[in-house]
Amino acid sequence: MLKEYGGLGVRQLREFNEALLGKLCWSLLVDREGLWYRVLIARYGEEDERLEDGGRSGSIWWKEVVKIRDGVGAGASGWFEGCVVRRVGDGVDTLFWHDRWCGDVPF
């Protein structure tokens, strides 16, 4: 039997947390001028217009966000990347040689 916390079971809390981290990942994709994006660039850096994972100096919170973003780990299972679709449009935000178009490897 699951322990209850405020009416939510432990499993539901885990799913709720993953959903919130996914929402943050989405906002980082679409709002590159926002405060959170600028704070994370200042803290962890950016390469090829992609936030760095922070390596060993990354916070536990940021490592969990990166797991969701990159589809790594048991809980993540790639759901975020599987639900996000890139549309090229005018090509300004598209890095042809660096973005992953098919599978996990860029051209």
Check residue 13 and give left, alpha or beta (phi > 0: left; psi -120 to 50: alpha).
Answer: alpha
pTM: 0.62
As a whole number, mean pLDDT of residues 11-27 equals 86
Q: What pLDDT does 44 receive? A: 92
Model confidence at 18: pLDDT above 70: yes
Residues 6+ apart with CB under 8 A from 77: 71
Nearest alpha carbon to residue 52 among 62, 5, 14, 73: 62
Separation of alpha carbons 65 and 59, rounded Å: 10
42-69: pLDDT as tens digits: 999 988 778 888 888 888 888 888 888 8
Please give the distance of CA 33 from its chain centroid, rounded to a whole number: 17
